[in-house]
């Protein structure tokens, strides 16, 4: 495989929507997502009203890459070999001895091999891998705290109640019916939650299309919400940027093989046609669908037997792994943690910030929650962590499972599309590779935590 990647080599450029083309104001969105579920549990399922009360420190718990071990009732952070680096029961940190009591001296999670390399979901565990998921981890932890305090519900009850809360807020008709908390809030004030694409990104999209590329938009969001988001971030002519738009794609199932393929469906006034299409014959806007029929259309459009496709996405489970593993597409991972590490480093090195009066800093911090892409005090770095076994005298550093997945399944990782929008289309990016240092493959530069770790080697 070539060590470099360039967009000029690609025939087709595909995009996820949420947290990829559309960047959210993460603090406001995180709060809204949590409240949309918690309010339902309190108002419809009788949960303690205290569930809604989150301190500034409590938001630090929201961390991408956690795994919910439903059997033990714990949230865990995994190393690349399945070792448990950190764990909590509820929001309370577990000590090394407590982790050993749950998982044995080796601290190996027994379901790791089932999750690693498949990303399948199970009744025994859940992987939180995108920003829409994060408030769910905090919600679970807070419920465990309240169960220990009050004991009037069980985790089995919570699982059922959470499914009801999700359905109430996010089912296919919720946007149209203005039900739940999330959609009405975004519809009322989209600018509070959605960031408009800068002119550089719009020009970049147009440049891609003018250069003869086929542009795709593939999102699991329903068509009505997709329309609202795209009109806000790209303008009312957003459809002109794309040759094919696919909504309600239900990723990662979109990449499923026979016999689990869902047919494409036409849309009329945002309502899916009940009759599935036998094939995809022309560009346009469709719902659901599958990778095989899309690939057949791309062959016709590009006049190539194996068109080269790159897909931009933020979710390892829904975008990166299936597009790479099943679709054999190149994948650009949108990783906002890259941007956050730079901001954090600048703040640490800034004399102005460090000299700011403590009372002023405290007042500011109380008004907002931690940016979910920033390093968590409770969970540490997204990329690596210190590890100390029960009989070890010295700490060692281990790469996280998430860090390993990035280098295994992504072609490159960038903090945002804006970060590359002004580069020439023939710019050559260094690919991730098993024979290169782990710092190679990130643009514009590797995570600061990884670079510091490499300097110590």
- Residue numbers annotated as active site: 16, 18
Considering Cα of 455, then 4, then 1, then 449, what sign does the dihedral take?
positive
Distance CA 336, CA 414 (A): 8
The closest of 185, 225, 229, 206 to 23, measured between CA atoms, is 229
Place of tokens 């630090």: 60
Rg (CA), the chain: 22
Task: Give 61-108 as a DSSP string.
Answer: G--TT-EEETTTTEEEEEBTTSBEEEEEETTEEPPHHHHHHHHTTTTB
What does the block give as tokens for 148?
Answer: 């220990």
Pair 313, 255: CB distance under 8 Å: no
The closest of 39, 56, 57, 37 to 48, measured between CA atoms, is 39
Reply yes or no: is the peptide bond before residue 252 cis, omega within 30 of 0. Answer: yes
Residue 260 DSSP class: S
What does the block give as tokens for 180?
Answer: 């739940």
Query: Residue 190 burial (CB < 10 Å; 0-12/13-18/19+)?
Result: middle
Place of tokens 């932890």: 141
């Amino acid at each position: 495989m070539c060590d470099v990647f360039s967009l000029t080599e690609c025939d087709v450029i595909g995009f996820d929507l949420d947290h990829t083309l559309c960047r959210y104001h993460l603090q406001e969105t995180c709060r809204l997502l949590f409240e949309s579920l918690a309010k339902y549990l309190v108002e419809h399922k009788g949960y303690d009203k205290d569930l809604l009360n989150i301190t500034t420190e409590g938001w630090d718990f929201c961390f991408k890459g956690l795994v919910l071990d439903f059997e033990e009732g714990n949230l865990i952070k995994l190393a690349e070999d399945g070792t448990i680096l950190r764990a909590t029961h509820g929001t309370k940190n577990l000590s090394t001895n407590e982790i050993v009591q749950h998982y044995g001296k080796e601290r190996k999670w027994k379901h790791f091999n089932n999750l690693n390399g498949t990303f399948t979901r199970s009744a025994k565990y859940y992987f939180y891998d995108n920003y829409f998921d994060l408030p769910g981890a905090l919600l679970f932890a807070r419920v465990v705290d309240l169960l220990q305090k009050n004991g009037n519900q069980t985790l089995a009850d919570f699982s059922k109640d959470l499914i009801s809360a999700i359905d109430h807020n996010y089912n296919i008709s919720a946007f149209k019916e203005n039900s739940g908390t999330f959609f009405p809030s975004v519809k009322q004030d989209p600018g509070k939650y959605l960031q408009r694409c800068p002119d550089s990104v719009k020009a970049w999209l147009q440049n891609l299309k003018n250069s003869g590329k086929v542009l795709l938009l593939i999102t699991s969001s329903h068509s009505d919400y997709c329309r609202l988001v795209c009109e806000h971030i790209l303008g009312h002519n957003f459809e002109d940027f794309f040759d094919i738009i696919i909504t309600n794609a239900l990723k990662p199932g979109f990449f499923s093989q026979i016999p689990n393929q869902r047919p494409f469906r036409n849309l009329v006034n945002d309502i899916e046609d009940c009759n599935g299409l036998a094939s995809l014959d022309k560009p346009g806007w469709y719902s659901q669908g599958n990778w095989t029929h899309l690939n057949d259309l791309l062959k016709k459009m590009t006049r190539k037997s194996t068109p080269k496709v790159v897909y931009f996405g933020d979710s390892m489970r829904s975008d990166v792994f299936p597009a790479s593993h099943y679709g054999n597409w190149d994948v650009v991972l949108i990783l906002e943690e890259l941007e956050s590490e730079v901001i954090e480093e600048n703040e640490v090195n800034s004399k102005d910030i460090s000299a700011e009066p403590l009372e002023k800093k405290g007042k500011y911090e109380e008004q907002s929650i931690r940016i979910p892409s920033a390093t968590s005090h409770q969970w540490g770095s997204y990329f690596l962590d210190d590890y100390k076994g029960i009989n070890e005298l010295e700490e060692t550093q281990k790469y996280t499972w998430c860090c390993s997945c990035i280098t295994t399944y992504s072609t490159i990782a960038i903090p945002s599309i804006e970060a590359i929008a002004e580069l020439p289309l023939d710019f050559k990016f260094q690919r991730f590779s098993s024979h290169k240092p782990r710092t190679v493959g990130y643009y514009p530069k590797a995570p600061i935590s990884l670079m510091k770790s490499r300097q110590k080697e």
